[in-house]
């Protein structure tokens, strides 16, 4: 094995090592609320500040942040049961469209008003409206966001979503909602699938089921949303130089294929145990975490302070307004 290939493998291993450290950090009280993904990003950003970017490992790190990220998104498609969405969630789907349009639209307006970074703000709008880190990761290459912008967006969404999920559990006994209504409120307004599960589970199985269904509708809408972004980016780049051409995100085809496979093949034509599906879900999380480590290593704390504060204010306001909106349209 030549040295170049060895360093490439070492780079990939390095991202998984920090992902493992993130997994351990997420067991520590306090960090257990923000999860493995955000914990790993924090470690990656800290490593960059103290030790600099590991240039010798760049090839493997880039592979993790690009290729493994797309693989994670493809596998994420297994979480989307299209059959369930069409069978039971069409009524929720229309409101999910409103949620996504509201989150992105308000985020764009607030970013303009606050003079916040456009790229980070757009990613945060998508993450808030759709499904957190996975949505940010899917849209980032389409809008040509920088790696550090993607990492900043994912980190903010993971931490803010956790705060809101905990806040929902505190508010649950107070808000005058039935368990199923509370589940819809959680599923239509919280950021990640994990955040929805954290918030809705205390309200009972029925609340959790309807919450996840509402959330799956938003995940389903990620695909048409990406194609809308492709359309606008192509219009924006029309007439510009060839290097600005928008490449088709083929990983979305894999996402759709895995969604169809998981919805109509697994469990029907091919029996699969819950433990196997849980294993695939865990593998997806590890791949996504390793990819985010690769992105996090590109983050400069100086840039983070200068560029992330205003988008953070904007997404916090957007998330609060979204919670209020969904509360009144349940």
- Rounded to the nearest 5°, which phi and psi values hold at 270? -120, 105
Residue 1: the pLDDT is 59
Q: Which residues pair with 270 in a beta bridge?
A: 266
Residue 240: the pLDDT is 57
Q: How far apart are the first and last CA of the chain?
A: 59
Tell me the per-residue pLDDT of 61-92, one tens digit each, with 9 for 90 and over.
999 988 898 898 888 888 888 888 887 778 88
d(CA 257, CA 274) in angstroms, rounded, equals 20
Give the 3-state secondary structure of residue 44: helix
Q: Binning pLDDT at 50, 70 and 90, where does residue 119 land?
A: very high
d(CA 206, CA 314) in angstroms, rounded, equals 33
Task: State how far the alpha carbon of 305 is from the alpha carbons of 153, 300, 310, in Å.
Answer: 13, 9, 9
d(CA 318, CA 315) in angstroms, rounded, equals 5
pTM, entire model: 0.82
Domain, as residue range, for 293: 3-329
Half-sphere exposure of 161 toward its Cβ, with a 13 Å CA cutoff?
A: 32
Residue 239: the pLDDT is 55
Tell me the per-residue pLDDT of 227-277, one tens digit each, with 9 for 90 and over.
999 988 888 776 555 445 666 677 888 888 998 898 888 767 777 787 888
144: alpha, beta or left? (left if phi > 0; alpha if psi -120 to 50)? left
pLDDT at 324 over 90: yes
Residue 328: the pLDDT is 94
Tell me the per-residue pLDDT of 9-65, one tens digit each, with 9 for 90 and over.
999 999 999 999 999 998 988 787 777 887 888 899 889 888 988 999 999 999 998
For the residues 133-144, what does the mean pLDDT come to? Answer: 90
- Two tokens at 187? 């599923």
Number of domains making up the chain: 1
d(CA 277, CA 36) in angstroms, rounded, equals 19
Task: State how far the alpha carbon of 165 is from the alpha carbons of 60, 179, 250, in Å.
Answer: 35, 16, 33
Q: Please say whether the beta carbons of 70 and 251 come within 8 A.
A: yes
pLDDT at 6 over 80: yes
Residue among 121, 128, 138, 142 at smallest CA distance from 100: 128
């Amino acid at each position: 094995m030549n040295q170049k290939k060895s360093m490439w493998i070492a780079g990939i291993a390095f991202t998984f090592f920090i992902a493992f450290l993130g997994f351990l950090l997420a067991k520590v009280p306090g960090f257990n609320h923000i999860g493995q993904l955000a914990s790993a990003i924090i470690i990656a950003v800290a490593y960059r500040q103290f030790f600099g970017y590991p240039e010798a490992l760049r090839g493997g790190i880039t592979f993790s942040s690009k290729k493994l990220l797309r693989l994670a998104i493809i596998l994420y498609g297994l979480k989307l049961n299209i059959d369930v969405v069409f069978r039971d969630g069409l009524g929720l789907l229309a409101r999910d469209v409103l949620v996504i349009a509201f989150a992105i639209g308000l985020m764009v307006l607030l970013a303009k008003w606050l003079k916040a970074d456009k790229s980070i703000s757009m990613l945060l709008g998508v993450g808030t409206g759709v499904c957190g880190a996975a949505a940010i990761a899917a849209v980032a290459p389409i809008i040509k966001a920088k790696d550090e912008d993607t990492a900043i967006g994912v980190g903010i969404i993971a931490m803010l979503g956790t705060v809101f999920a905990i806040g929902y559990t505190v508010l649950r006994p107070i808000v005058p909602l039935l368990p199923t209504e509370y589940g819809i409120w959680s599923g239509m307004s919280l950021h990640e699938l994990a955040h929805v599960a954290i918030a809705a589970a205390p309200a009972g199985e029925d609340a959790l089921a309807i919450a996840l269904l509402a959330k799956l509708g938003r995940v389903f809408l990620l695909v048409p949303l990406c194609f809308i972004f492709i359309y606008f980016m192509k219009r924006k780049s029309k007439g510009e130089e060839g290097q600005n051409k928008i490449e088709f995100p083929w990983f979305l085809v894999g996402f759709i294929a895995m969604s169809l496979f998981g919805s109509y093949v697994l469990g029907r034509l091919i029996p699969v145990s819950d433990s196997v599906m849980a294993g695939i879900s865990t593998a997806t999380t590890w791949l996504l975490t390793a990819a985010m480590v690769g992105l996090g290593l590109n983050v400069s704390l100086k840039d983070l302070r200068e560029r992330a504060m205003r988008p953070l204010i904007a997404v916090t306001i957007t998330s609060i307004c979204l919670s209020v909106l969904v509360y009144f349209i349940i």
